[in-house]
Structure 1
Amino acid sequence: MSITSLEELFVHDLSDVYNAEKQLTKALPKMARAATNPNLIEAFKLHLEETQGQIERLDQVVESIEGLRLKRMKCHAMEGLVEEAKELIDSVEKGEVLDAGLIGGAQKVEHYEIAAYGTLTALAKKLGYTEAAKLLHETLEEEKSTDEKLTQIAGE
């Protein structure tokens, strides 16, 4: 695939993060079931609801830009992060060590999403997609907040 413009890069990155969020909606329930810390379990459940809202917000981003269509693609970065979490769940006994690993894995996901939404927000602004930039920034702030919550849980 050859990307030759900021618009094409924006569509590519938006399509990528859309798939990433879809993958995450399948992974978060598994992570919640594997966790033992009640605050971590609750954080995963809340983030699942938030992620579903973020997918709806991505749909709004697409609707806000005339003629924009997402590409069908797989986010390989999220696929790898989800696979790492699955391997951790399969190989570490339930308890404090697994919870710590799940927090680390979830923070890797959040940092990936923070980078993705930061880039998308900047691209949307540069392209003059004002409504899209506002929506994407909203999600960026949610991702930062989730990362902070995970850090707090790790310190308990």
Structure 2
Amino acid sequence: MATTTKSTAKKTTSRKTPAKKDAAKELKDLFEDGLKDIYWAEKALVKALAKMQKNATNEKLKNAIAQHLIETEEHVSRLEECFESMGRKAQAKKCDAMQGLLDEAESIIKETEPGTVRDAGIIAASQKVEHYEIATYGTLAAFAKILDEKTSLKNLLATLKEEKQCDESLTKLADTNLNSKAK
């Protein structure tokens, strides 16, 4: 049986997936697709953060979400500037990864009672979003550097720094008392 499984796995992994007609052919195409993706993600996050803030009970958490909402609106503006600097109109393309993370956050809110347990869940969901954004902005900044997209690089690095700071703030908030109270 192990031999059969091994040969089956080998057959399925050796096939290449054909590219779509509009597939990225150059790094610049991949970069622009990534910008469209994160642009959609940030705009969707603006809406989701307002709901998270409304459902949080801890004042420090509510304030942290409010602060990040302001930053996220700035992230949207920076991304619009990235598009503009490349002579492109800002365009959003649905980000399936962010949609999944936001669906999970919504589920956590629905599946927890208001209070410290829900607050801990909101922090956990928020940090998953932050980690996704950190990975995305880091990758896009690396692409911008290679492509010599100076305005984009500046904006992406500024946003990356803020995403990392937000993640650190959420960790401190969870560690200082929220997770213990949720116990």
TM-score range, shorter chain: over 0.9
Report the secondary structure of 1:155's partner residue. helix
TM-score scaled by length of structure 2: 0.82
- Cα distance in 2 for partners of 1:59, 1:150 equals 27
For the aligned residue pairs, the C-alpha RMSD in angstroms reads 1.0
Q: What is aligned with 1:118?
A: 138
Residue of structure 1 in register with 2:76 after alignment: 55
Instruction: Work out the CA distance in 2 between the residues paired with 1:107 and 1:72.
Output: 23
Q: 1:53 to 1:71 in 2, by over 3 A?
A: closer
| Contact 2:40-2:95 within 8 A present in 1 as well | yes
Q: Amino acid of the residue matched to residue 98 of structure 2?
A: M
- 1:81 maps to which of 84, 101, 107: 101
- Residue 78 of structure 1 and its aligned partner are, at CA, apart by 0.7
Partner of 1:19: 40
The list of structure 1 runs, each at least 4 consecutive aligned residues, that deviate by more than 6 angstroms after superposition, is: none
User: Counterpart amino acid of 2:43?
Assistant: K
- The Cα offsets for residues 89-134 of structure 1, whole Å up to 9 and x where unpaired, read as 1110011111111101000000000000001100000001112101
Residue 153 (structure 1) aligns with: 173
Distance apart, 1:155 and its partner CA: 1.0
> For residue 10 of structure 2, what is the aligned residue in structure 1?
none
Letter in 1 for 2:94: K
Measured in 2, the distance between the counterparts of 1:71 and 1:29 equals 23
CA–CA separation in structure 2 for the residues paired with 1:35 and 1:98? 7
Quote how far apart the aligned CAs of 1:73 are.
1.6
Distance in structure 2 (CA, Å) of the matches to 1:36 and 1:123: 40
Supply the AA of the counterpart residue of 2:54.
Answer: R
Q: Which amino acid aligns with 1:52?
A: E
Alignment CA distance shift 1:18-1:101 (3 Å): same
The 8 Å contact of residues 12 and 71 in structure 1, kept in 2 or not, is answered as no
CA contact (8 A) 1:11 1:71 kept: no
Please give the alpha-carbon distance, in whole angstroms, between the structure 1 residues aligned to 2:119 and 2:103: 16
Question: Which protein, 1 or 2, shows the higher relative CO under an 8 Å CA cutoff with sep ≥ 6?
Answer: 1
Q: Percent identity?
A: 47
CA displacement, residues 48-82 of structure 1 (integer Å, 9 cap, x when unaligned): 1110011001111111123x345442011111111
Q: Residue 141 of structure 1 corresponds to which residue in structure 2?
A: 161
Is contact 2:38–2:136 with CA below 8 Å preserved after alignment?
yes
Distance 2:35 2:149 in 1: 13
Instruction: Give me the TM-score of the superposition, normalised by structure 1.
Output: 0.96
Larger Rg: 2
Which runs of no fewer than 5 residues in structure 1 stay unpaired?
none
Query: What residue ranges of structure 2 are gaps of 5+ in the alignment?
Result: 1-19, 177-183
